[in-house]
Chain A
Amino acid sequence: MDLAFHPFRPIPSSRRRRRSGGAIYFASQDTPNQFISYCYFGRVDQNGVETWQYQETNCREDYAIHPDGTIFLVEDVFQNTDTAVVTALDPATGQIKFTVTLPASSQTTIGADSSILFDPASSTYGTYCTPGTPGASSTSPLATHGAISISSDGNVYIPFTTSTGSSDAEPCDSSPDPDHPGFPHRVKLSDGTWTASSSLQLMVIHSDGTYSTQQLDANSASGTGMTSHGAAGFEGLGRSIPDGQGGTLVTVSFPPALYHASSSGTSKFPLPITPPSASIDAFAINDAMLLGEDSTAYLVGSSDPQGPMNTLLALDTNGGAIKWTTSPGLNPTPSTVTSDGSVAFQYYSQSDFSQHLGITNSSGQVSPLFANPADGSDVGPLTMFSREPPSYWALGTWHASLSDGGLAAVTGLPAYTAVSAYPENKGSSKKRKGSPRPQIAHFITRNPGNPPSSFTVAQAVNDIKNYLSGTNVQNAFYTGAQGASIDKFLKVLQGNTSGIGFIGDSALVSPGPGQGFPFSIGLCFYPSEPTNPPSVPPNCLVRTPDDSSPDPLMHFGNIVAGNPTWRTTDKLPVNLKLIFIGSCEDGEVFNQWWQISNSTVGHVLIVPSNPTAPTDLVAAISEWEDIVKYSAGSMNVGEAITQANANLVSQGRPGAWKPIGDPHVCISTTCKKSPHSN
């Protein structure tokens, strides 16, 4: 069987699969399956062997990836039945874990108290008034629904509509019709009554397959006569996206509105633009709504309900106030909301018939995403046809399509992706249609106990893993035995991880008797979990000395020269929001190395409060556990430090930690961010 891997429909491998080196993909096959479909999902392992296939009913399934790796699909005409089903697939086996059938789109009962009868005298059928006749009921089981998303706590959201209608011939004249012997009177157009109602609802599916529904809106109509009936209804459901606070946002094309559903109720905000429907081919479409910080939603739509998409709009989801609108060109496709309220997007310009990359500032003013610094002109890349908007990686680098179909990494101005529940196209950089999860790196380079064997690295890993198991944090541990090296440390510092914690030894400089306290110039790593005393010299990453500096504390060049396993660096790359240091004597020389000061915005360095005291590394573990746990909840990092310090006191542990930089940093989408932070 030949496989044709669809170039435009990559499915991100789940967390579980990526950890084991495999990949999950969407593919087509040259012979149809049992459902007369040419498409399936598959998985290959790290050796390239296909380990499972899931045969699809058609080739347009919407998808989302649960934090535990479960793949959720929305399958219309599921296995050629007339139903729409949400399917949960086990990422390890491709087997169905459970299904949830979406409610039928409509139920109608028409013609109650009437009968269609054949009159042989005239050889015609007619509708006659026959009180007591139940009428004809029909159901359209195939659901009308929008697209799905998954919140960081694993709830799956999908909007849908239902409608009901009925007509009743009464009041009508059921007496014998003298003009048609043997028949009652015909039902006249003015006879009878009708009712119709529609509702907009949200289904929330939980990890175990249970679900609930919440009505967001409803409308109804009724009247007399048999000629007209119907309610306004709800047309064009978009993708519901999580709001990070346990609720969700969903757009409707007609009547154009944004709904904000939460446990306390639903808010409806009418829109001056018509947002698009997500139901045409939800698998491949780009998102029409992203969520920024401070609960601002960024939507695209058309200013003319009959016209093309041409408008980008920012709206406060708490009160519905529209912050700004802009019409940069046709088909604006949002890519990423940044922490300062800017939105990067792709749009089509009719002036040169090309796709451009733009970015709005927080006021809606548009400029090129990549601008010539000399005159601000757009330097591209321009493309003729690009379905995917650029995606942000890190450190100002974007991945963007080129005109020849290639992919480029393009460097622009540094930016930080907004900390929200849905800041990027398809949810997050993982494109799993779900909220991003904080990724935390734990570097534990020596046994924290004193003596070391009283509390080992393995016990620290086990304790941290368990303590954070109730959060949505993704943990990566780096120990001596598992790659806690200088290179790995530097790589993590430059990556997309939310935060990093270092618990281990300092590289110390001792000024000599009477000349001050020892102070740290760097961090040490061991090729294996160290013995006491170390059997091998540590590999220390230290600040580059400056023996000509007016600051005598920087005069440690001869010391570095005498330690061949030490490596120097002028500056440490700081891309992460949160950096925690649990080592000893971290004073000004060490802290300034990070280039984070109290005027720094968006980053926070957490160091022991007392720079001249030894650090209890078991206390550092406790402090770090608490900071991550509280930051993964609703606290910003500064609040988390305060609480963690208080917990240390109650535990009788020595030490306290302080923030340098921006204590208002958030790593969780549920964090209540201070307005003072970007």
Chain B
Amino acid sequence: MFASRRLARNRLIAIKFLLLISAFPISVHGKDGNTNPSYFGEARKFLGALYPELQQSGLTISYSISSPFDSDPMPELRTFSVLVTRTQSVSVLQSSVRTENVPAQSATLPNVNLSAGFSYDLRGGIVRFSANAPWPLSSDKNEAMRKLIDAHPKWSDQKILEQLSAKGAKFGPNDKTALLSVLPLERLEPFLGKLTVRSAEFQIRHKQPDGTLALLSWNLEIEASSASGERSSYFVSVEPFGGKINLLTRRPNR
């Protein structure tokens, strides 16, 4: 009867639906009946461009969107999350967000459990993208490393970097050139436009009045130019273990 927000979520009067598809894009119809850009399909392609490791058989992408039941009209389907998993079977349209995907028991293929969030604008441009997964994003390693650093506030930056390297991070502050060489910028250009890296800075910790907060992230400012000459600026965060982009946010034009 009484619960914290998370526990109450299951009882929210809301419609939640999950689409399970395997390998084909779909078109989404908005409230006015016109065909919106195929946001779901674009998202799947975008993930494929970012993480080519996902281009393999046996993976499932599922889409989730929620809104209040009494929304009228229905919200446009431009903000949603996706889950990429390795499942044994792809089948049905389910009615609950609580899916129980069964990971395959494979000795050679890595387990996949990638969560991502997308926001698009009305013209189909990506406004915000975020993703986390043990593979291929090393999110679990990065999170463990951040907790370790926060537990040792007296560690010097040098000590942190030594620990980071010992844990397998390939792209520390001194590996900027190597990092930039592995970024999939060309593959992203069909989605964002011609890309130019304006700055790249490795963030170790955020210093604040009563301590520090581990960040461990390459932060990039990337400028995108469309064919029509329109320019956009993106904030891009890259994890240091494999050099994978895990956050992309379009910034307002300055």
Contact = CB atoms under 8 A, between A and B. Distances in A.
A481 B150 contact: yes
Interface string B212-254: 1101010100000000000000010100000000110101101
B92 interface: no
B203 interface: yes
Given A520-B5, A614-B9, A650-B127, 16 more contacts: A451-B81, A454-B132, A459-B247, A465-B215, A466-B219, A467-B249, A477-B208, A507-B5, A524-B4, A538-B4, A584-B8, A616-B79, A622-B128, A647-B252, A652-B79, A654-B79
Nearest to B6: A505
A506 B5 contact: yes
A651 B68 contact: no
Interface in A442-472: 446, 449-456, 458-459, 461-463, 465-467, 470
A18 B12 CA distance: 46
Given A19-B208, A505-B5, A508-B3, A650 B81 contact: no
B207 A16 contact: yes
B120 interface: yes
A476 interface: yes
B143 interface: yes
Contact of B5 (A455, A463, A524): A524
A260 to B, nearest CB: 29
Nearest to A505: B5
A534 B215 CA distance: 23
Which 4 pairs of residues, A with B, have the shortest CB-CB distance?
Answer: A652-B78, A505-B5, A454-B115, A454-B117
A123 interface: no
Given A462-B219, A652-B127, A614 B208 contact: no
A482 interface: yes
Interface residues of A, number: 68
Nearest to A558: B2
B209 A510 contact: no
A509 B1 CA distance: 7
27 contacts: A19-B209, A446-B6, A451-B83, A454-B117, A456-B130, A456-B139, A459-B132, A459-B246, A461-B206, A462-B219, A462-B237, A463-B237, A467-B235, A475-B206, A481-B147, A481-B150, A504-B5, A509-B2, A524-B4, A530-B6, A533-B6, A534-B4, A562-B2, A619-B79, A650-B127, A651-B119, A652-B119
Nearest to A504: B5
A282 to B, nearest CB: 28
Interface in A79-123: none
Contact of B115 (A449, A650, A651): A449
B130 A449 contact: yes
B1 to A, nearest CB: 5
B207 A563 contact: no
Nearest to B1: A510
Nearest to B147: A481
Contact of A556 (B2, B120, B131, B208): B2
A524 B6 CA distance: 10
A540 B128 contact: no
Given A18-B209, A450-B66, A652-B78, A462 B247 contact: yes
B144 to A, nearest CB: 11
Contacts of A654: 67, 75, 79
Most buried by A among B83, B97, B117: B117
Interface in B48-96: 64, 66-68, 75-76, 78-79, 81-83
A614 B12 CA distance: 8
B116 interface: yes
Interface string B5-36: 11111011010000000000000000000000
Nearest to B215: A462
A453 B132 contact: yes
A480 B128 CA distance: 24
B121 interface: yes
A532 interface: yes
Contact of A610 (B2, B68, B215): B68
Contacts of B247: 459, 462-463
A189 interface: no
A549 interface: no
B143 to A, nearest CB: 7
B149 to A, nearest CB: 10
A538 B3 CA distance: 10
A162 interface: no
Nearest to B2: A559
A654 B78 CA distance: 10
Contacts of A237: none
Nearest to B207: A19
B237 A459 contact: yes
B100 interface: no
Nearest to B251: A467
B63 to A, nearest CB: 12
Interface in A237-253: none
A476 B203 CA distance: 16
A20 interface: yes
B146 interface: yes
Nearest to B130: A455
Contacts of A459: 130, 132, 237, 246-247
A618 interface: yes
Interface string A560-579: 00110000000000000000
Contacts of B115: 449, 451-454
Given A20-B207, A584-B5, A610-B68, A449 B212 contact: no
A474 B7 CA distance: 34
A461 B213 contact: yes
A638 interface: no
B115 to A, nearest CB: 4
Interface string B137-153: 00100110011001000
A524 B246 CA distance: 27
Interface in A524-568: 524, 530, 532-534, 537-538, 540, 556, 559, 562-563
Nearest to A649: B122
A390 to B, nearest CB: 24
B217 A462 contact: yes
A485 to B, nearest CB: 12
Interface in A493-523: 504-510, 512, 518, 520
